[in-house]
């Protein structure tokens, strides 16, 4: 009811809100998408401005409008806004490109490119590129990871990598995030999470964590915005893992989630009691630990939106984080599938303020601007 869809005749691999300027109080109104598995892949910028008319109950009507787009070589494997104008895009060809969105005339141009930032044999082999699987930005610094197990640190406006860790991993690195300005966290295809201190010259991780037992590939990672020791990962088995990197080398909790690969996990940037995950199984879950479930009317209450409430069996409200209790679902957590009629894979989601955007293999993008209504 609150979601508007736009069919785009492209499989969407990534969707990202443009960050709001520090001064802005408005809700996000522009997002970017990247596509994959199409003959002609594209980076596109969309507006969800006022979308024409506001309905009776104040909801927006109409669909996202395409502002501009540009061709992209290879599948878009990851993308992140560097600032309000520039987007860093990771390609299956191994190239990393910075595109600039010119807001005065609504065009996109390639601003900077690191050819074959990731490669299998050597950079000069024509087809030797290895997919760049993940990219993360922090101010002017860009970190990329790839199928070649390589980590690159780039700085915008510098032609060469500032730092490259060549054999950082013997398996594919699937995703990367900043823990703090000098530390990054990577996840790989054998279920390991590694911390790298970029101040250290040695090319070994400062810490290694791993899932016990089966080496399930981890596909995505996100860190809690306020408590930097809390990290969430998702993997091939659809499980959500919560880690406390201050202690132990195993996850604090493993939560049964999706029935197939989890492609992305995101804490809400300003309201991290809320977490969102999306999956190959066509579902997008909203995990809410903000409520005290004991106030709910019944022990197990089935809501209209396939919501499940769990009982609240502890009286002390943990001041720590609900995410760190041994089994958050026992204490207080509400899980809602935001896509009741599942179709094809939900490959990407992004969340900012009350707004959610997600992209699917059903060649559609969806925007919900009243997430907490």
82 inside domain: yes
pTM: 0.88
pLDDT averaged over every residue in the chain: 86
Mean pLDDT within 152-176? 94
pLDDT above 70: residue 306: no
pLDDT tens, 84-94? Answer: 999 999 999 99
310 inside domain: no
352 inside domain: yes
Show the tokens assigned to 24: 């802005």
pLDDT tens, 6-36? Answer: 999 999 999 999 999 877 667 888 999 999 9
At 328 the pLDDT is: 55
301 inside domain: no
* Distance set, CA 210 to CA 86, 193, 259, 325, 326 (Å): 34, 6, 21, 19, 17
Parent domain of 233: 3-291+319-368
The confidence band for 326, taking pLDDT boundaries of 50, 70 and 90, is: low
298 inside domain: no
Name, in order, each residue with C-beta under 8 angstroms of 345's C-beta and a sequence gap of 6 or more.
260, 263, 279, 280, 281, 282, 360, 361
300 inside domain: no
What percent of the chain is modeled with pLDDT above 90?
A: 68
305 inside domain: no
Name, in order, each residue with C-beta under 8 angstroms of 136's C-beta and a sequence gap of 6 or more.
80, 142, 143, 176, 177, 178, 184
13 inside domain: yes
At 90 the pLDDT is: 98
Name the domain count of the chain.
1
Helices (H) and strands (E) in the chain — how many of each? 1, 29
As beta bridge partners, residue 262 has 279
Maximum C-alpha span of the chain: 65
Are the CB atoms for 185 and 228 separated by under 8 Å? no
CATH number for 335: 2.130.10.10
């Amino acid at each position: 009811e609150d979601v508007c869809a736009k069919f785009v005749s492209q499989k969407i691999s990534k969707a990202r809100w443009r960050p709001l300027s520090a001064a802005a109080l408005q809700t996000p109104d522009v997002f970017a998408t990247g596509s994959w598995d199409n003959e002609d892949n594209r980076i596109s910028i969309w507006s969800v401005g006022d979308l024409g008319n506001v309905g009776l109950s104040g909801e927006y009507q109409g669909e996202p409008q395409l502002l501009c787009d540009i061709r992209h070589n290879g599948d878009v494997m990851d993308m992140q806004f560097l600032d309000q104008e520039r987007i860093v895009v990771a390609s299956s060809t191994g190239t990393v490109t910075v595109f600039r969105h010119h807001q005065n005339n609504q065009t996109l141009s390639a601003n900077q490119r690191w050819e074959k930032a990731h490669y299998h044999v050597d950079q000069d082999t024509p087809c030797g590129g290895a997919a760049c699987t993940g990219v993360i930005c922090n101010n002017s610094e860009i970190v990329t990871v790839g199928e070649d197990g390589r980590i690159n640190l780039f700085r915008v406006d510098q032609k060469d990598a500032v730092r490259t860790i060549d054999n950082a991993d013997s398996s594919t690195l699937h995703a990367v995030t900043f823990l703090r300005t000098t530390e990054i966290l990577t996840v790989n295809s054998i279920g390991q999470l590694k911390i790298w201190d970029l101040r250290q010259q040695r090319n070994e991780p400062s810490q290694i964590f791993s899932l016990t037992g089966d080496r399930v590939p981890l596909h995505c990672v996100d860190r809690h915005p306020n408590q930097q020791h809390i990290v969430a990962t998702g993997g091939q088995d659809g499980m959500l893992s919560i880690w406390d990197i201050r202690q132990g080398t195993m996850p604090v909790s493993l939560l049964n989630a999706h029935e197939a690969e989890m492609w992305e996990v995101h804490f809400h940037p300003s309201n991290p009691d809320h977490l969102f995950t999306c999956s190959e199984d066509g579902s997008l879950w909203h995990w809410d630990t903000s409520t005290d479930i004991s106030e709910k009317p019944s022990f197990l209450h089935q809501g209209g939106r396939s919501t499940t409430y769990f009982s609240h069996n502890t009286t002390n409200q943990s001041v720590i984080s609900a995410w760190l209790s041994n089994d958050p679902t026992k204490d207080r957590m509400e899980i809602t599938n935001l896509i009741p009629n599942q179709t094809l894979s939900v490959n990407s989601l992004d969340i900012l303020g009350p707004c959610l955007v997600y992209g699917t293999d059903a060649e559609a993008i969806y925007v919900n601007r009243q997430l907490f209504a």
